[in-house]
Amino acid sequence: MIGHIADTERIFAYRALRIARGDTTPLPGFEQDAYVRATDFNARRLSDLLEEFACQRRANVLCFQPLTEAEVARRGTASSASVSVRALLYIMAGHVLHHIESLRTDYRVGG
């Protein structure tokens, strides 16, 4: 699951950066299940996957925190839908929270 979270974080950050910088090129969607099938995250140590994600998230915070209100409000097209940078940032955060909640409820991890 953490590998999927890291892949998705990268994709949404890439989309947000392009749109924040004013790139109006429509961005294609991606098939998340194909990404998972294309690699074996189980062959990697969990600690390495967690460290990779933590570094990604830190880099994203450093990249997006100084954006101006105008940059955050910029809109572009991703997966054939109009989306703002602000929405992509919320989606990135929500995606992680969704999987944390899934671990709690579906797998009873963490209380």
Q: What is the pLDDT of residues 45-77, one digit of tens each?
A: 999 999 999 999 999 999 999 999 999 999 999
Query: Per DSSP, which regions of the chain are E strands?
Result: 75-78, 81-84
Euclidean distance between CA atoms 15 and 9, whole angstroms = 10
CATH class of 2-106: mainly alpha
Is a pLDDT exceeding 80 seen at residue 84? yes
Compute the average pLDDT of residues 5-12.
97
Is a pLDDT exceeding 80 seen at residue 109? no
User: What residue spans define the domains of the chain?
Assistant: 2-106
Contacts 24+ apart (CB under 8 A), 93-101: 95/5, 95/8, 95/9, 95/12, 96/5, 96/9, 99/1, 99/4, 99/5
Question: What is residue 111's predicted lDDT score, i.e. its pLDDT?
Answer: 61
Euclidean distance between CA atoms 4 and 107, whole angstroms = 17
